[in-house]
């Protein structure tokens, strides 16, 4: 689409038309569709649980409300992507992140019961940091230890989640 003041072919208009991603190459479109799908799954799964009221929430209250917010957010992001905003999708994804992140999540799930909260969180945080391309090993270790300590304080001590800090203790 050419600006009103531009009546002839110009480099500005050609570059701008080339930069605008198509609908299927737009990050916002795919992000919006993903949020809508996750929200719908949450609402569909939560419909089998008692909803309750705002004062006496049932087990279906939080997933239903969260799913509704995800759907609304997804619709907003999808609409902005369809209007032409947003960046094009990256041509390639880093293989390291595609392997390390799911592996860290699976190891967290396995270790939380077998080794305890602290080793599981250390593996999750350290593995997530390894997925990036620009990290410093000492900083990553320090960050993993500090964030694990903070998570242990918040989740195990303050909230009282029934996870042992270390297996057998």
53 and 105 assigned to the same domain: no
Residue pair 67/51 in contact (Cβ under 8 Å)? The answer is no
Q: Is residue 28 part of a domain?
A: yes
Q: Is residue 164 part of a domain?
A: no
16 and 78 assigned to the same domain: yes
28 and 68 assigned to the same domain: yes
Q: Is residue 89 part of a domain?
A: no
Q: Is residue 49 part of a domain?
A: yes
Last residue of a domain, one of 82, 116, 135: 82
Q: Is residue 90 part of a domain?
A: no
pTM score, two decimals?
0.59
* 169 burial via Cβ count (<10 Å: 0-12, 13-18, 19+): exposed
Q: In this predicted model, what pLDDT tens digit does every residue of 91-147 receive, in sequence order?
A: 777 888 889 999 999 999 999 989 999 999 999 999 999 988 888 899 999 999 999
Last residue of a domain, one of 82, 110, 143: 82
61 and 116 assigned to the same domain: no
Last residue of a domain, one of 82, 110, 136: 82
> For the chain, how many structural domains are there in total?
2
132: left (phi over 0), alpha (psi -120 to 50) or beta: beta
Q: Is residue 59 part of a domain?
A: yes
Q: Is residue 163 part of a domain?
A: no
99 and 70 assigned to the same domain: no
Q: Is residue 73 part of a domain?
A: yes
Q: In this predicted model, what pLDDT tens digit does every residue of 2-15 receive, in sequence order?
A: 455 555 555 555 54
The per-residue pLDDT of the chain, averaged, comes to 85
Task: Give the range of the structural domain holding residue 61, as residue numbers without chain letter.
Answer: 11-82
Distance from C-alpha of 165 to C-alpha of 169, rounded to nearest angstrom: 7
CA nearest to 64, candidates 82, 79, 47: 47
């Amino acid at each position: 689409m050419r600006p009103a003041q531009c009546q002839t072919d110009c480099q500005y208009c050609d570059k701008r038309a080339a930069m605008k991603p198509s609908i299927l190459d737009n990050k916002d479109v795919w992000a919006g569709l993903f949020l809508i799908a996750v929200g719908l799954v949450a609402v569909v799964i939560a419909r089998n649980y008692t909803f309750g009221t705002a004062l006496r929430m049932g087990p279906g209250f939080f997933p239903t409300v969260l799913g509704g917010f995800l759907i609304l957010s997804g619709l907003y992001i999808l609409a902005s992507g369809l209007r032409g905003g947003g960046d094009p999708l990256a041509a390639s994804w880093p293989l390291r992140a595609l392997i390390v992140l799911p592996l860290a999540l699976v190891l967290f799930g396995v270790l939380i019961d077998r080794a305890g909260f602290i080793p599981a969180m250390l593996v999750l945080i350290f593995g997530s940091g390894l997925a990036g391309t620009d990290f410093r090993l000492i900083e990553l270790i320090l960050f993993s230890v500090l964030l694990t300590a903070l998570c242990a304080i918040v989740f195990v001590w303050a909230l009282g989640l029934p996870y042992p800090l270390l297996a057998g203790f």
